[in-house]
Each structure stands twice: as structure tokens, then as C-alpha cells.
Structure 1
Amino acid sequence: MGLTSKNSSAVKALLVTAALFIILAGIKTAANILVPFLLSVFIAIICNPLVAKASKYKIPNVISVLLVILIFVTVALSLAGLVGKSLNELSLLLPEYRAQLKDQFIWVTEKLANYNIQISSAVLVEYFDPGAAMSLAADMLSGLGGVMANMFLIIMTVVFMLFEASGIPKKLHLALDDPEMRLKQIDKFLSSVNHYIAIKTLVSIATGVCVSVMLWAFGLDFFLLWGVLAFLLNYIPNIGSIIAAVPAMSLAVLQLGPGSAGLIGLGYLMINTVMGNAVEPRYLGRGLGLSTLVVFLSLIFWGWLLGTVGMLLSVPLTMIVKIALESSSEGRWLAVLLSGNESGNESGNEPENEAGQKA
């Protein structure tokens, strides 16, 4: 009897693993279709609270949806135009920046030669090339621009999602076997996702603005481009802020010198410390945190699965998975493993607190 139970458990585990691999292979194959859809869902989640807010002022749903979409399209096209122009100028100036770097390294090697330290400037250029970091940032933004080429499809999907959003609870009520219990779980799940993405978006906008203002004050070229990059990469906690700082600091070394580059790095550190340790925890709370290891692994996993957009949405997507797991008793243990130390402790204490309240 025990052997049969073990065999059935092993077969079940194998079937689940096989199904998971098949699903991942399907997602990888259909990435060109799924990426615009995921972007549409992400945009719809951000826009839906604005539509709901407008409906409180007795504005018809059709008008409120069209107004919100018009605002979003205007902002998106403005940013796309800004990024496109900056990337073109950056690609033209990269050879000049590399020439400046070579001149600086020749000066460094001459100074080192006075102390009998012989190093070739070509070797230094090979191992330290800020242009490579700037090219990487440009390639990432260009990849995102390639996805946004499907702008019409994405916007139309968002429009239909916003029109359908108000009717989803009623449809779920009719479709589910235990609507009261299920709807509570779904409402909790959707409100948590909405809250997380809305706050994260506002904090990311504030981070991008602060970075742009700081770099403008230093007189760094393409300060708006680096601000947009900081906004996008702020969706990736901890790691994103480091990645966003590298291209700007690399350019600062060439344009302004190592001293100013160090000050810019300090400015990035201060902005991200304030946003990450003061602003976000106040409005998000610590219960939605992910461990740093999970953040890093999710960046690799979603980037491999969905490309550039997967990297940018890696944490929101992982957060959605985590919140979904927390909504079911069977998956709560896995949600605890995904959490950071503080979040894991809080999650682990929830059942005890509930039991104490019931007693």
C-alpha cells in the first residue's frame, strides 16, 4: 500500500514536471505573441485605477477609457521620440567617446611609465570600455522599442481589457462553483497586484525624474535618456538601480572625469536608498518583498523566456506568481520561499495570528 502511494506520488511529480517543461517551451515559442499581450495586461493594470477614479465623477465609461488611453499614448509617444532621438545621437557620438577614452588611457600609461609600470593603452581600452556599457543600454532600449512597434495591437488590447474590467466580477460569479470564497481570493489577488504595480510605477517615475535632474545639474549628455533608463530598470529592485547607473557613470568618466563620475555614483546611491528604503516600504509595506536571490534569478529566467520585456517585467511577473501562490493554501509554502527574510517571517506568522484571533 505504501509502495503504491510512493509510486503514485513519483508519477504525479514527473507529470507535473513534464507539464511545466511543455508549458515553458510553448511560452518560449509563442514569445512574439505573449510579450505584447503581457505588456497590454501591465498597461491595463496601471490604467484601470484611473478609469475607476473617473467613473466616480459620473464620467461615462467609454469617455474615461478613451481619455486615459489618450494620455497614455501621448506620454508613450513622447518618451519613444525622446529615446529614439537620444539613441541616434549616442550612436553617432560613440566613436568620439572611445577616442577620448583612448587619449585618457595614453595619459595614464605615460604617468605609470614614470614609476616603471609598463601597461599598453590598448589593453586598458580592451578591459575598460565605457562605450560597451552605453551600447548595451542602447540595445536594451532598442529591443523594447521593437516590441512597441506593435503599439496599435497593444493599445487596442488595453482598450478592450479596460472595457471588460467592470464586468469580470459578475462573469466570475457565474462561472465559479464557490463564488463567494473564490471571489474573495481573486479580489485580494487583483487588489494586491494593482497596489504593487501602481506604487512601483509612481516610485519608478519619481526615481527617473530625480536621476534626470541630478544628471542635468552635472551637465551630463543625454540626461533624459538615463532618466528613462532609471525609470524602466527601477522595476527590478536592487539590481536594476546598479544596471541603470553603469552607462551614465561610464559616460561621466569620459565627459566629466573620474571625480564627477564618483559624485554621480554617490547621487544614484542616495536616490535609490531613499526610494528603496524609505518611500517604497512606507506605501508598499514589507510583506510584498522578494529575496535578492529570487530577484536575480527571476531577471535571468524571464529575460531568457521573454527577452528584454521579460527582464523589465521580471519582478512584477514574479510578484504576480507570489501573490497567486499566497492566495491558495497549497501554494503558500512556495510563496514563503520566494519571500525575503522579513516577508517570510511575516508570512509564517500569519496563520498563528489568525489562530490567536479565532481563539
Structure 2
Amino acid sequence: MKGIHQSSMAVRSFVVMACVVIILAGIKTASPIVVPFVLSAFLAVICNPVITLMCRYKLPKWLAIILLMGFIVLMSLWLTSLVGSSINEFSKQMPVYRAQLVEQFAWILDKLQQFNIHISRQKVLEYFDPGMALSMTTNMLSGVGNVMANLFLIILTIVFMLLESNDLSKKAHLALDDPEMRLKQIDRFLQSVNQYMMIKTLVSIATAIIVGIGLSIIGVDYALLWAVIAFLFNYIPNIGSIIAAIPAVLLAFVQFGPAAAGVTAGLYLGTNMVMGNVIEPKFMGRGLGLSTLVVFLSLIFWGWLLGSVGMLLSVPLTMVVKIGLESSQSGMWLAILLADNVDDKLSDSSMENHKQDDTEQISEQEK
């Protein structure tokens, strides 16, 4: 009997893994449809507190939604035109920047030749080409731009989600077979994701403003473009701020030399250290309960599955998976692996189990 039980468990595990692979392959294939829907869902999460605040001032909900959606459409069109025109102008100036780059490296190459180290200028352009850095950034932006091509569909989806936002918590409890709304982690999850998206958006806006003003003072070209890129890439954990800084630092080096490049790098480094290590932890508290390794791996996974939008939303998407695992006993072990503090997780789980046992004992005594 024991051998039969182990065999059935192995078959069940194999079937579950096969189902997961099939589902992921389906999502990957249907990503042109899935990605706009996912983006709409998280934009609705960001917009919902703003709608609630507007309704406190006696505005009808439908009017608040129309005003906010109109503002989002105008901002999206403005940012799209700004980024597109700036990239086109940058591409036209690329030969000039390449020539300036060779001039900046000329004295370094002369010094190296004195030590019989010969490096061709073509090699310098291959490894320190600002156009290559910009193309890497624009490739990631193009993924978001392709999604924004479905702007009408995204806005329409956000509107319907906001209209039904009041029933979202109840629907989540019913979907997870909890009509009595006893699963407190669902409410904690909705609150945590809402808090994360709002704080991350405000921090990204502040980062973009500081970077834009700093680059304007330094005199780096297209400061507004780099500020927009800093805003978008700040949503990408761990490496987003580094990717956003590379083209601006290279351009500062090309225009003004190593000193300006160092100041630009210091501007990005100081801004992200203050925002990421001081401001965010202060307002976000313990965050969303994901370990640093899980955050990094989720960035790679969601980027592969959903492209640039998946990288931007990797943290909240992982939280969706985590809460789904926590709601089932069979997936609890994987949810613990995703958590950042195992001791707190185990203590919370034991307390919830004791409470459920006490409730069941009381109900049995009443019967």
C-alpha cells in the first residue's frame, strides 16, 4: 500500500508540473492579449485610491473616473511623443557624439601607447558606444510602447475595473472558497499591493524630478528623456535604476568628460540610495514579504514570460502567486520559500491554525 501511495504521489506531482508548463506556454503564446489586461489591472490598483479621494469631495464616481482617465490619456500621449521625438533627435546626433567620444578617449589611448598598449579607436566605439546603450534602453521601452498601442482597450478595461472595485475583495474571498471572509491574508495582500504600487509610483515620480533637474543643471542633453526613463525603470527591482543611468552617464562623458560623468553617476547613485534605502522602507514598512533572491529571480521570470511589462510588474505579480499558494495547504511550502522572514511566517501560520482549531472546538461543543 505504501508503494502504491508513493507512486500515486509521484504521478500527481508529474501531472501538476505538466499542467504548469502548459499554462505558462499558453500565457507566453497569448501574451499580446494577457499583457494589456495585466497592465490594466495594476493601473486600476494605482488609480483606485485616487478615485476614492476624489469621491470624498462629493464627486460622483463616474465623473471622477472620466476625469482621471482623461488625465492619463493626455499624459500618455505627451510622454509617447516626447520619448519618440527625443530618440529621433538623439539618433540624428549620433555621429557627433561618436566623434566627441573618440576625442575624450584620445588622451587615454595616447597614455596607453606609451606603455606599448595599443587599442584601436574602433574598439573604443564598440565598447563605449552611447548609441548601443540607448538602443538597449529603447528596446525595453518598445515593449511598453507596443502595449500602449492598445491604449483604448487598456483605458476601457481600467474603467470597468474601477467601477467594480468595491466588490473586488468580496469576489476574491468567494473565488478562494471563503464566503465568510476569514482569510485575512487576502485583505492583507490587496492592501499591500495597493500600498506598494502607490508608494513605488510616488517614489518614481520623485526620482524622475530629481534626476531631470540634476541633469539639466549639469547640462546633459535630453534631460527630460532621461527623467522619463528613470521614472519607468524605477519600477524594475535591483537593476532598473542601473539600466536607466547608463545612457545618461555615457552622454555626460561624451559631452563634458570624466568629471561630468562622475557627477552624473553620483546623482543617480545618491538619488536611488536615498529613495531605495531610506524613503521606500520608511513608508513601505516590511514591504510585500518577498526575499531579495525571489525578487531578482521573479524579474527574470516575468520578463521572459511577459516582456518589459512583466519586468515592471514583477514584484506585485509574484505577490499574486504567493497569496494563491498561501490559500492552499498543498502550496504553503512554496509560499514559505518565497517569503523573506520564515520565522514570522511560521509563527503567523501556527497562530492561525490555533485560532481555527479553537473555532472548530467551540462549534463542536455548541452542536
Write out aligned runs for 1:74-223 (5 A).
74-169=74-169, 178-181=178-181, 184-223=184-223
2:362 equivalent in structure 1 = none
Query: Which deviations, in whole Å up to 9, do the C-alpha atoms of 1:43-74 show, x marking residues without a partner?
Result: 11111111122223332221111122122222
CA distance in 1, matches of 2:175, 2:234: 38
1:263 equivalent in structure 2 = 263
CA contact (8 A) 2:173 2:181 kept: no
Q: Secondary structure at 1:36's aligned position in 2?
A: helix
2:277 equivalent in structure 1 = 277
CA distance in 1, matches of 2:263, 2:336: 39
CA contact (8 A) 2:172 2:186 kept: no
1:55 equivalent in structure 2 = 55
Shift of 1:148: 0.6
The TM-score with structure 2 as length reference comes to: 0.88
CA contact (8 A) 2:300 2:311 kept: yes
Shift of 1:258: 1.2
1:41 equivalent in structure 2 = 41
1:313 equivalent in structure 2 = 313
Shift of 1:329: 4.9
The 3 A distance-change label for structure 1 pair 170 and 134 is closer
Query: Which deviations, in whole Å up to 9, do the C-alpha atoms of 1:297-331 show, x marking residues without a partner?
Result: 22221121112222222222123323443455543
User: Which residue identity is paired with 1:26?
Assistant: G
CA contact (8 A) 2:173 2:186 kept: no
CA distance in 2, matches of 1:95, 1:289: 48
1:27 equivalent in structure 2 = 27
Shift of 1:24: 0.5
CA distance in 2, matches of 1:307, 1:54: 34
How many percent identity over aligned positions? 57
Q: Secondary structure at 1:220's aligned position in 2?
A: coil
Shift of 1:18: 0.3
Note if 1:67 corresponds to 2:67: yes
In angstroms, what is the RMSD of aligned CA positions? 2.5
The 3 A distance-change label for structure 1 pair 305 and 170 is closer
The 3 A distance-change label for structure 1 pair 348 and 223 is farther
CA contact (8 A) 1:46 1:197 kept: yes
The 3 A distance-change label for structure 1 pair 53 and 325 is farther
The TM-score with structure 1 as length reference comes to: 0.90
2:345 equivalent in structure 1 = 347
The 3 A distance-change label for structure 1 pair 282 and 310 is same
CA contact (8 A) 1:101 1:254 kept: yes
CA distance in 1, matches of 2:142, 2:174: 44
Q: Secondary structure at 2:149's aligned position in 1?
A: helix
Structure 2: 5+ residue runs without aligned partners?
Answer: 359-367
CA distance in 2, matches of 1:121, 1:167: 63
CA contact (8 A) 2:185 2:323 kept: no
Shift of 1:131: 2.2
CA distance in 1, matches of 2:85, 2:185: 46
Structure 1: 5+ residue runs without aligned partners?
Answer: none
Note if 1:8 corresponds to 2:8: yes
> How many aligned residue pairs are there?
357
Shift of 1:349: 4.1
Write out aligned runs for 1:323-338 (5 A).
323-338=323-338
CA distance in 2, matches of 1:51, 1:183: 26
User: Which residue identity is paired with 1:221?
Assistant: D
